[in-house]
Amino acid sequence: MTVKVSKTKLGNTLVNSKGRTLYLFKKDSGTTSACTGACATAWPPLTVTGKPSVGHGAKASLIGTVARSDGTRQVTYNGHPLYLFQGDQKAGATNGEGVTAFGASWFALSPAGKQLAPRASGSGATTTTASSRY
């Protein structure tokens, strides 16, 4: 599994090897994931067997893994467990940005491994619609 940087409508964003946006969950405590069950169905953890690889723009020093409660290894970046969003069906989609679901908010990550800064209004984020499904 590769973590790399790609340009999305949010700017330079961490993505997986297929170009799908990676998110952090504000409810996580350090590297411990708070997303299991139905949460992990809607927001699949980025898991890996072996060591994750680093692609264009990502920093190898920021990537790691952590054991999940089910025994799988979840990829972390700058200490944040990484997730995909089931509502992002294609590369570059950012439908999960700013969504509040399962007790906290979800945000795409910058190449530095931090929550992306909010964009000015008109960014196209539809948090009301996306969050109302949960």
pTM of the model: 0.87
Q: CA 69 from chain center: how many Å?
A: 18
Strand partners, 123: none
CA separation, residue 48 to residues 35, 127, 128 (Å): 17, 29, 32
46 close to 87: Cβ distance less than 8 angstroms: no
Chunked in runs of 10, what are the mean pLDDT values of the chain (134 residues)? 93 96 96 96 96 95 95 96 97 96 97 81 42 40
DSSP string, 40-79: HHHS-B-EESS--EE-TT--GGGEEEEE-TTS-EEEEETT
Query: What pLDDT score was predicted for residue 117?
Result: 72
Query: What pLDDT score was predicted for residue 118?
Result: 67
